[in-house]
Amino acid sequence: MLLEDNRKLSASGSDYKRMSGDELADFFRGIRRRHHGEHIVFLCVGTDRSSGDALGPLVGSRLMELGFKYVIGTMPKPCDAANLERLILDIPPDSIIIAIDACLGASASVGSFLVSEQPLHPARSVGIKLPAVGNYSVAAVVNVNSPKPYWTLQMTSLHLVMQMAEQIALAAAEGFQRG
């Protein structure tokens, strides 16, 4: 999970572009064009035990419903801080990984998406050190950054998270011509 800096969209030196859900399909379309015929894996990070952090598993489950075969992190089998390092070991080394997670950010950014051609840094906002993951990343700004990020994620609107998860999944389906 990334934190959005209020002055610049940046995390560990990686630049992120803020976009609306309507723009996400173009992001995925670009990945499809650059990596046509390569093994694409969606790594959907999060847990089903927190409304704010359920975005990843919700996206993963929806991607599976839309016909994507290579998805790690679904509602029945989340990819979270407890098993992320083990699960990424099972990804073939030549895979192109699109990492998806929720994040906290500035109030003006809630409901938008941060995308990058850089890895995602999961669980950073709650102080857990996990490896950076992905060749590409999508972070959904689900709530406002606060001094108590774990509590903030627990109190995040599930309705907003579900809407944003659906936007990501449908944009991926459009971008990769699925569903």
Query: Is 12's pLDDT higher than 60?
Result: no
8 confidence band (pLDDT: 50, 70, 90): very low
- How far is it, in rounded angstroms, from Cα 179 to Cα 171? 10
The dihedrals phi and psi of 11, each to the nearest 5 degrees, come to -150, 120
Q: Which of 5, 6, 3, 18 is nearest to 121 (CA)?
A: 3
Which one-letter DSSP state was computed for residue 9? Answer: -
Query: Is 103's pLDDT higher than 90?
Result: yes
Query: Is 9's pLDDT higher than 60?
Result: no
More confident residue, 5 or 19: 19
- How far is it, in rounded angstroms, from Cα 101 to Cα 116? 12
Token output for 63: 């991607």
CATH 3.40.50.1450 fits 10-175, yes or no: yes
Query: Is 6's pLDDT higher than 50?
Result: no
Q: Which of 10, 23, 12 is nearest to 105 (CA)?
A: 10
Query: Is 169's pLDDT higher than 70?
Result: yes
Provide the 3-class DSSP secondary structure of residue 83. Answer: coil
Distances (CA, A) of 112 to 67, 79, 99, 165: 25, 22, 16, 11
Query: Is 4's pLDDT higher than 50?
Result: no
Task: Give me the pLDDT at residue 128, please.
Answer: 78
The dihedrals phi and psi of 86, each to the nearest 5 degrees, come to -70, -40
Mean local confidence (pLDDT), 113-117: 97
Mean local confidence (pLDDT), 101-123: 94
pLDDT tens column, 33-78: 999 989 999 999 999 999 999 999 999 999 999 999 999 999 999 9
- How far is it, in rounded angstroms, from Cα 157 to Cα 143? 8
